[in-house]
Amino acid sequence: MSPAADSSPGYFLIMTRILPSLVAILLTALGGPLAGAQTLPSAESPEDRAARLAWWREARFGLFIHWGVYAVPAGCYEGRPIDWTAEWIMRRAKIPVATYQTFAQDFTAENYDPEAWAALAVEAGMKYMVVTSKHHDGFALFDSKASNWNAVQSSAARRDLIAPLAAAARKRGLRFGLYYSQAQDWTNPGGAKWEEPDLTGGWDESQRGRFDDYLSAVSLPQVRELLTKFQPDIFWWDTPTLMTPERAALFTPLLALRPGIITNDRLGGDVPGDLKTPEQHIPATGLDYDWEACMTMNDTWGFNRSDLNWKSTTTLLRNLADIASKGGNFLLNVGPTARGEIPEASIQRLREMGRWMKVNGESIYGTSASPFKKLPWGRCTQKTHDGVTTLYLHVFEWPSDGRLPIPGLKSEIGRATLLASGETLQVVSERSDVALVVPVEAPDPHVSVITLLLKGPALVETILPRPDADGNLTLGPKEADLHSTFGNVVQLAGPAHDPYIAHPGAESWIGWEFEVSGAGAYEVIAEMAAKEAGARYTAAWGKTKLEAEIPVSAGATTFLPVSFGRIEVASGGVHQISFHPVKQGWKAVQLRRVLLRPLP
């Protein structure tokens, strides 16, 4: 099972088609990778910032809700399924504004039960929620004076849908966040329309208008309304098309209306916000800033009635553990129907996650990133309390021989227990490492958690791959260093027991460190899969650069050996090799492993 994501065709579709486009669009809009720390308020001390973000850092798990008129067509227009995530249907099918607005008559919210939604989030073990107050179709779920394209005035729901959810969430101790599409608006005149040549023109005469007029007539007043009425704990901007620093500067002062608010990095105009927001992927390694991975449960954010490509509860829980082990939060999405029902498949998964969180929540909440670079069987989180460090081992692949090695751990272990039952586990030495004697059966079908109380801080030595008895060196995904800039996805994916690295492009790269005992020559062979012709990669070894074209293979998981040629190792010791795409646009490749074969 993949630690990071499903390897289904749907997932491949997101990785290869949807995600790259969204990412390319975002990057274009942002003018490059996002960087830096939060700016609000600008004079904030690190201590004040830590205090402001304390609840969010403790929370680790939140609910994302994409709800709007797009739930009426639910992925289908004029009898045809429309490619892309469902909330983009108006843009993708270029539905005329007047036609799209008629869908609102079926947006009844008749079964909407905000109390039940909030209760479900609590049951899942979530600590906050973020709901779309207005998505790119411009439809506001709240009572807005700035545009009558809202739930109260223009839909069959005839009421403010945000207010009762905010109340229900807060009643249960959940923090409440609002998503708001500040630039894109496909209905109100002048809102950004994405990749049209004339970004504010769109596909319907009624959409025409000046973007700055749109900002002052709709977007800025609505942000003010939202901040004033709901006092959100999080403001979640999205898709900053056309947002210059000057335009962003019109928004940032409004945030003072909600002291202590947390914002993400998508306002645009170089405003970094508090949180980075990797979307539909989990960064390969921990990051040195606050981040939140937002992901769908199937392949869509808004409700799509024919998208049944649900991730399993096991995958979702492993994603949660993976994210926590890298110091991030998980914002997991549901897309309710037009009648206000969260799909049964989502409810079921959230409940199952909640059952796991009830038992294992302490291994997630308030934890920090793993001290291990890699673990062969899963992930690790840690917490230090009153000077005592606890490691939480999240075991994805339970050992069949009753021994769980902890490679590289040099700290003395005070006590090892199964978190679920409290059963004490024996600690034994195995070569230069420690191992735990564990039951033969995994205690949990999804992720079993073991608690290690350490005597002193976590001391970990990284163990590098070495050649086998025949001199062959295998570099697999678990030992890889995956480097991705925002949006340039590099991640582990793949079916059970066969993880591989998905690497669709641009400036990201994959590298390995390894150790050899002496000088020698090797042939570099990478096992790769490519869907499109023309992807070229460089293998970099010190100053040596070897280039190869990746042949098209029969599918995302059909790997072909690609020889990059010969490298010479001058001496024993630690060496690095890395693989970089040659600038080529978005051409997805998968890399399963690299073999260094000794040559005479």
Is-contact 490 501, C-beta < 8 A?
Answer: yes
**Site for ligand FHN contains 130 (CB under 6 A):** no
Give the separation between CA 400 and CA 595, rounded to whole angstroms: 27
Phi-psi region of 401 (alpha: psi -120 to 50; beta: other; left: phi over 0): alpha
Closest approach of ligand FHN to the CB of residue 65, in Å: 11
Q: And the tokens for 356?
A: 């796991």
Q: Closer CB to ligand FHN, residue 14 or residue 357?
A: 14
Pick one of 15, 22, 40, 192: the residue that binds ligand FHN (CB under 6 A): 22
Closest approach of ligand FHN to the CB of residue 24, in Å: 11
Radius of gyration of the chain (CA): 25
φ, ψ dihedrals at 525, nearest 5°: -120, 120
**Site for ligand FHN contains 187 (CB under 6 A):** no
Stretch that binds ligand FHN, among 1-9, 80-88, 453-461, 532-540 (CB under 6 A): 80-88
Q: What is the dihedral of CA 303, 307, 313, 318, to 10 degrees?
A: -90
Stretch that binds ligand FHN, among 82-90, 185-193, 316-324, 555-563 (CB under 6 A): 82-90
Closest approach of ligand FHN to the CB of residue 236, in Å: 8
- Neighbouring CB atoms inside 10 A of 213's CB total 13
Burial 554-587 (b: 16+ CB within 10 A, else e): eebbebeebebeebebeeeeebebbbbbeeeebb
Q: Closer CB to ligand FHN, residue 154 or residue 239?
A: 239
481-483 and 509-516: which strand pairing?
Answer: antiparallel
Q: And the tokens for 77?
A: 């227009």
Closest approach of ligand FHN to the CB of residue 88, in Å: 6
Closest approach of ligand FHN to the CB of residue 39, in Å: 21
Q: Closer CB to ligand FHN, residue 59 or residue 458?
A: 59
Closest approach of ligand FHN to the CB of residue 85, in Å: 6
* Closest alpha carbon to 238 in 301, 165, 290, 287: 301
Closest approach of ligand FHN to the CB of residue 501, in Å: 23
* 91 Cβ contact partners less than 8 Å away, ≥ 6 residues apart: 136, 186, 193, 194
Binding positions for ligand FHN, 547-576, rule CB under 6 A = none
**Site for ligand FHN contains 274 (CB under 6 A):** no
Number of residues that bind ligand FHN (CB under 6 A): 10
Q: Closer CB to ligand FHN, residue 233 or residue 238?
A: 238
Burial 147-183 (b: 16+ CB within 10 A, else e): bebbbbebbbbeebbbebbbebbeeeebbbbbbbbbb
Pick one of 12, 301, 392, 512: the residue that binds ligand FHN (CB under 6 A): 301
* 43 Cβ contact partners less than 8 Å away, ≥ 6 residues apart: none
C-alpha pair distances (Å), 27 with each of 165, 195, 486, 595: 33, 12, 8, 34
Per-residue mark of binding to ligand FHN, 83-112 (x: CB under 6 A): --x-xx------------------------
Closest approach of ligand FHN to the CB of residue 78, in Å: 21
**Site for ligand FHN contains 239 (CB under 6 A):** yes
Pick one of 294, 321, 323, 458: the residue that binds ligand FHN (CB under 6 A): 294
Closest approach of ligand FHN to the CB of residue 264, in Å: 9
Q: Closer CB to ligand FHN, residue 265 or residue 322?
A: 265
Question: Which one-letter amino acid corresponds to residue 157?
Answer: A
Q: Closer CB to ligand FHN, residue 88 or residue 356?
A: 88
Q: Which residues pair with 238 in a beta bridge?
A: none
Closest approach of ligand FHN to the CB of residue 2, in Å: 21
Q: Closer CB to ligand FHN, residue 294 or residue 490?
A: 294
* Closest alpha carbon to 409 in 478, 462, 456, 481: 462
Q: Closer CB to ligand FHN, residue 88 or residue 100?
A: 88
* 83 Cβ contact partners less than 8 Å away, ≥ 6 residues apart: 92
Tell me the three state secondary structure of residue 572. coil
**Site for ligand FHN contains 279 (CB under 6 A):** yes
Closest approach of ligand FHN to the CB of residue 266, in Å: 8
Closest approach of ligand FHN to the CB of residue 130, in Å: 10
* Closest alpha carbon to 329 in 388, 289, 359: 289
Q: Closer CB to ligand FHN, residue 94 or residue 410?
A: 94
Pick one of 6, 137, 160, 238: the residue that binds ligand FHN (CB under 6 A): 238
Residues interacting with ligand FHN, by CB under 6 A?
22, 26, 85, 87-88, 238-239, 279, 294, 301
